[in-house]
Amino acid sequence: MEQWLVGVDLGGTTVKLAFVNMYGEIICKWEIPTDKSEQGKHITTHIAKAIDEKLRELDESKERLVGIGIGAPGPVNMATGDIYEAVNLGWKNYPLKDRLEMETGLPVVVDNDANIAAIGEMWKGAGDGAKNLILVTLGTGVGGGVIVNGQIVHGTNGAGGEIGHITSIPEGGASCNCGKTGCLETIASATGIARIATERLQQMNEPSCLQDVWKTSGTVTAKDVFDAAKENDTLALQIVDEVTFHLGLALANLANGLNPEKIVIGGGVSKAGDMLAQAVARHFKRFAFPRVAEAADIVIATLGNDAGVIGGAWLVKENIV
């Protein structure tokens, strides 16, 4: 009987689940809503139920499943599988590994959600098997995963790879949810890009197709900015240059300490594609040590929403099988 790995990617709005074979191929994937009521205490029960229901639907027995690899938002205690804090789920020192093992009867490995996305891209995606890799995810926030010699860098207390909290604006930057100001996340996230665009529009009167979007809908999104930049809109091009300048600078500083083979850009903003990758690469080359710049290939993530579940499956393969 072919054994299956269970990958789970726990997000603030949905929980993505998949049964994956030993080669990293998805057999079946689905998602359920994240129930954050009562400090997220029902989440593990719902994951366990979802797995049992899917097995019933496929007419498969639990014997097929080797274990569960789960990525959760926030720093993880790697020794215990506890989540130190996941603000958007209401968890603090939450025993995720123990709870999920108790609910499912399967062995569980826990890591941070951005880390498992990095592992997924390394194993089956844009990382293309590279053993030294940086993944930066640009979504509502900016997440990151750093892989050195094929291993995720967790650091001393689970906060390795917090790329979004590299300081980009030392004085007078925008406030970040982490309590600091001027973090990369306040600039290069979808939220940050929208904020910068709105501030510029409030300050200027020159014609821009972003003005039209803003006046019509009252908001401007990161997608609007990149769409306008592709049409050579002057304001949009300036915003893209500012955002990719800070991203290129932060990634170059990080790469100078790590000398990676691949820098993978994922998350919703990465849908901007080559335009984003090329602009980041241009600034990166300016700030990276020449030999570091020569080695690093900046690419767009290829797995999309599947990166996390595939990375979760890899955790099981490496730690349980």
For residue 220 the two structure tokens come to 């401007």
Q: What is the DSSP letter of 131?
A: S
The predicted structure's pLDDT at residue 238: 97
Which domains, ranges and CATH numbers included, belong to the chain? Answer: 4-112+305-320 (3.30.420.40), 126-300 (3.30.420.40)
pLDDT of 70 higher than 80:
yes
Distance CA 100, CA 46 (A): 10
- The predicted-structure confidence for 253-299, as pLDDT tens digits, reads as follows 999 999 999 999 999 899 999 999 999 999 999 999 999 999 999 99
Measured in whole angstroms, the distance separating CA 237 from the mean position of its chain's CA atoms is 25
**Block residue for tokens 């709870």:** 99
pTM above threshold 0.85: yes
- The predicted-structure confidence for 149-207, as pLDDT tens digits, reads as follows 999 999 998 889 999 999 999 999 999 988 999 999 999 999 999 999 999 999 987 88
The predicted structure's pLDDT at residue 166: 97
Interior angle at CA 19, CA 78 and CA 312, nearest 5: 20
Q: Which among 312, 256, 311, 315 is positioned nearest to 287, based on CA atoms?
A: 256
Distance CA 147, CA 149 (A): 7
For residue 21 the two structure tokens come to 């074979």
